[in-house]
Each structure stands twice: as C-alpha cells, then as structure tokens.
Chains A and B, each alone.
Chain A
C-alpha cells in the first residue's frame, strides 16, 4: 500500500503542491488528471523523492520517508520499491535494449548476469520487443523506446510503477501501442500511478481517478463517478473543455475526409 500524507512542495516562494493526501491500494491503477501546471508531475516525482517534498511523508509498505528527515539511505530504499516511466523515455543511450532492462537487475538487485538476462528477456516479451533486444535506443521509434522504458521499470518487479505522461512525447500514431502495453500490465495486477492527458485511456484502465488543479486534489473517486457525475465545478469545466477539443478534432477530421 502507498500512502502520501500532506505532501507539500514549493519552488522558491511558489507553492506547487498544497498538501496532498492519497492512498493507493495494492494492485490498484490510479490516474492523475488535471490541466497543465496543476502539479501532477511534481506529485509523482515527490513519491520517489526525485523531488524532495517541502513537507509531508511518503509511506510504501513498511517504510515511511519524511520530507525533511528522510536520509539518503531511506530514499534509496524507497526508490528500490518504486520504478518510473518518463515522458522523454530517458533510456541509457550507450546501452542496448536488453542492457537497459538488465541494468537495475544487476546493479541494484544484485542478480547474476545470466539471471538478469533471462528476466529481462521475459519482460521484453511482455512489451513485444524481443527481436529488438540488441538494438540501441537511437534505432528505435518513440513508441518502442517507451516500451523499453516500461520494460526497464517492470523488470524490477516494484511495489508501484510511476508513469509520468508516458505518451505525451509520442507521435499520435505511436500512442496506441504504448497504451496497449500499459493496459496489459495493469491487468496483471501491478500497482500503477499514471499522470496522463489521455482521458479516455484513464477511464478505461483506472480503478481510481484523481483530479488535480492548482496544487490540490479537487476531486477523486472511481472513473464512473468522476466521469459521469463530477461534483466540482472545476472538474466539470475541465472535462467539458477536453470533450470540446476532442469534438473539434473529430469535426476537423471529418471535413478532411
């Protein structure tokens, strides 16, 4: 189980997160939605202390790391229980696909090379990239790179995978393959927290939706409640705008066709 308690973060005088409380149960997929600048990504980066919160604490299973007292060692333990998928993939450019996946298995989890290779191959199978195992990141499309990013996270068998806008940097026609992989691993019961702009995907894959705006959680609940019966005015406005944009896109498309 993952619990965030009163997470606050300021950059200088600028408050970005104003006290976030969130509980994610084991096996749950939680999507964080909200307009840009609402603090979604910062919240995600606070969970593994890539960003040290100004206030509050993060609890994963039996360990609790507090914003101010959290030592390097505690943060390292926390990070060993999590893994992250980045918007810009952030693959290790000087390593092949399989080496990217093996890196954490060998260096962090101290597996032997053979074990790591075997585990990495199994995970690459899941994301459908076994035949690219010996390719370098530069040789892959964005979608393939992101699937390697997912494989790298998945291989470590973490308590939770944090996905930071995993499809935002992709060409539209490559978004599908990545979402499909995420959906498949979600069905395996892996706990995930996803920051995304893909509203319909979030609706499809999530057990729980968190809607954020201006550094606060405005509304949270099951997808059915949030999408069909949002209570807050801000949530309604957000979805209305999203729907309108989708509508414009569709009418543009139909006029082209």
Chain B
C-alpha cells in the first residue's frame, strides 16, 4: 500500500471545513462547565447543607467515568426521560425533535463542570485566607471579597490547568462523532470512507488537531503572562 500524499492535502482542506462544529463542541461545554464548576466549588467550600453530598457525588462520578459514557448515557437516557414526561404531562413534544448536538453539549458540559470544579477549588484554596479577612475587615461583604479579591487570583493561579482542560476538551470533542456529529473526526471519517483512503485522512486530521493544540498553547502562554503580571511587579 502506498501513501497518497497529495490526498492528505486535499483531505486537510475538506476536513478543515468541519472546524466550526469542533469549536462549538469544545467551547460551549467549557463555558457552561465553568459556571457549573463555580457553583459546585461554592457548594463544596461552604459545605452547603443538602447539596454538599450531591456535589461530591457529581464530581466523583463524572470524573470517575469516561466522557464517552456521559455522551452515551445522556444520548440514550435523556430522550427516554423526556418522552416519559411528555406522556405524563400530555405534551405534544417528542424527544426526536431535539437535535443530537444538544445531547452532546449537555453531556460534555457536565463532564467539564466536574473537572473545572476541582481546578477552581484548588485555585481558591491557594489564595491565602488573610486577603479575604483583610477585605472583610474593611467592610466588604463576603461576596464582594470573593469576587474582587479571591476570585481573580484563583483564576490566575488556575489558568494553566484551565488551558490544559481546553486542550483536553478539544481532543475529547472528537468522540462526538460516535453519535454522528460532523465535527473534525466525523468529517475525517466521511472523507476517508468516500475515497477509501483512511490513513491519509486520519493523518490530515491529526495534523489539524496538532496545529490547533500548538496555537492554544501559544495563546495560553501569552494569557498566563498577562493575568499573573502582579507576580512580576507589572512586567509583561
């Protein structure tokens, strides 16, 4: 068997068209997951009654199972739940009218939330308690102190880990192809089977993922320098 090098370039261009969907499947879960992560972190740090063990269970289960399972569980389980509810409440609504992408985004958001909560929690705990006390001692509410003093530093501390998660989720987004999403990997599969050139197509896909990762790393490094500028006395 010979490798068809020109085909790699053709595939590259074809697969690249699926980039927007990959970006959506990467970014949307990370943004929603970030908000979930903050919520979970607050519940766990404050030990909110009733929700505390639920939050612990959520983090433990979601981090303890592969993202692929989350997609499959939501994709298979959620429609069942919706249809059941529809029957009970006499809705005319049917689960088949929900786009599959929505299930993928839901599942990966939950996954991201679990990972993010651990990262944010570590960041918040790394900011020394004294600054929170100082903020409260001048009459700031706990919320103001968290938002203005603790949180910005916690995010700065967490940034390298958050960027790792971004890269991780960029790669994880590829499993959406299993529920027939036409993101980068899904597109690769189509290009490959239409032309019966599998290796070439996957080499092209790998190059695209690699390139995206390198760009992310560069952006991360810049961002990191910017948000931790206070540690170097204002020198970027």
Q: Which residues of A contact B (CB under 8 A)?
A: 48, 50, 76, 79-80, 82-84, 86, 88, 90-96, 103-104, 107-108, 134-139, 149, 152-153, 156, 162
Contacts and interface: CB of A to CB of B under 8 A. Distances in A.
Contacts of B233: 135-136, 138-139
Contacts of A139: 233-234
Interface of B: 128, 130-131, 133-141, 144, 148-149, 152-153, 156, 230-234
Contacts of A79: 136-139
A48 B140 contact: no
Contacts of A103: 135, 138, 140, 148-149
A50 B136 contact: yes
B149 A92 contact: yes
Contacts of A83: 137-138
Contacts of A91: 131, 134
Given A76-B141, A135-B233, 9 more contacts: A79-B136, A90-B130, A90-B134, A92-B135, A94-B230, A95-B230, A104-B140, A108-B140, A136-B234
Contacts of B230: 93-95, 136-138
A134 B229 CA distance: 13
A88 B135 contact: no
25 contacts: A50-B133, A50-B136, A76-B139, A79-B137, A83-B137, A84-B133, A88-B130, A90-B128, A90-B133, A90-B134, A91-B134, A92-B149, A93-B131, A93-B231, A94-B156, A94-B230, A103-B138, A104-B139, A107-B144, A107-B148, A134-B234, A136-B233, A136-B234, A137-B230, A138-B231
Contacts of A137: 230
Contact of A92 (B134, B136, B141, B156): B134
A83 B138 CA distance: 5
